[in-house]
Amino acid sequence: MTSTQQAKAKTLRSLHESGTFVLPNAWDAGSAAVVAAAGAKAIATTSGGVAWSLGRTDGHGLSRDESVDAIRRVASSVDLPVTADVEGGYGESPEDVAKTVTGAIEAGAVGVNLEDSKAPGGPLFEPAQQAARLSAARAAAVAAGLPELVINVRTDVFLFGIGAPEGRLDDVVARSAVYAEAGADSLFVPGLVDLDVLSALVKAVSLPVNVMAGPGAPTVSEFGAVGVRRVSLGTALAQAAYAVAQRSAIELLSKGSYDELAEGIDFGTLNGYFAR
């Protein structure tokens, strides 16, 4: 493990200590370089964006090797800390998770997202099962020489509507306590953007809270006002980029014009991001 990677892990960890930071998720080297140039303090990958770029579906559609290869390309393209979306760890067992975390660290990641869902829509791992997986992730990080690895545990209680609505907050709070004890550093609750509920959650848990934002969600400052530490976009940035490609192709094929391409990044600027 290099001192540079350890320093990046400490930098990523420090971002969770106060204020609110933003992670516009990347899916390849080009998107990572663009996000870095925009002023991001760290880069997060999106499993959905990575999957689509490889002709796979999101939601455990990637293999461990495909995910690790994508992490390596992103991490080698930027000088910022990279936290990697490794979905459910590419296997249910703690040993599977350990292999994935080891691979992600070797590829240059200094943080990982680890889901507690077994498949899109659920079911979820029982808290004790997910705790064993988190403990394995932490042990793998220590064995790899990166005990500072930031483990962002994702719970899909709200995203997938698990359990009765009135019990979901309590479920997340209970899971957070178990996950923190097992080695998680932050809590990711996609599907939850209600500021009142988030305010209650932030006050009830010890872990910094991460939300997934997008069109129609509160602003970063509004999330920050209720104590959210980390705001990410999931697949939203990739979806927007693909929408530009689709609109441009439709215009070209139907009208023979190029107006949708007018605000593209200058060729020399984009090419220059990789003149390292």
**Count of structural domains within the chain:** 1
- Measured between alpha carbons, how far is 119 from 88 in angstroms, rounded to an integer? 8
Residue 181 in domain: yes
Q: What is the pLDDT of residue 2?
A: 78
- What is the percent of the chain where pLDDT is above 90? 97
**pLDDT surpasses 80 at 1:** no
Of 66, 65, 47, give the one whose Cα is nearest residue 57.
47
Mean pLDDT of 217-246: 98
Question: What is the 3 state secondary structure string of 262-273?
Answer: CCCCCHHHHHHC
* pLDDT tens-place string over residues 186-211: 999 999 999 999 999 999 999 999 99
Mean pLDDT of 45-74: 96
Q: Which amino acid is residue 84, in one-letter code? A: A
Mean pLDDT of the chain: 97
112: left (phi over 0), alpha (psi -120 to 50) or beta: beta
Its domain, for residue 73, covers 3-235
- What is the percent of the chain where pLDDT is above 70? 100
Mean pLDDT of 69-91: 97
Q: What is the pLDDT of residue 113?
A: 98
Residue 270 in domain: no
Mean pLDDT of 158-176: 98
Q: How confident is the model at residue 266 (pLDDT cuts 50, 70, 90)?
A: very high
Pairing of strands 21-23, 43-44: unpaired
**Residue 83 token pair:** 């936290």
Contact by Cβ (8 Å): 48, 67:
no
Residue 255 in domain: no
Give the pTM.
Answer: 0.95
Contacts of 17 (CB under 8 A, 6+ apart): none
Residue 275 in domain: no
- Measured between alpha carbons, how far is 87 from 47 in angstroms, rounded to an integer? 7
Residue 254 in domain: no
Q: What are phi and psi of 237, to 5 degrees?
A: -65, -40
Mean pLDDT of 217-244: 98
The CATH code of the domain that includes 98 is 3.20.20.60
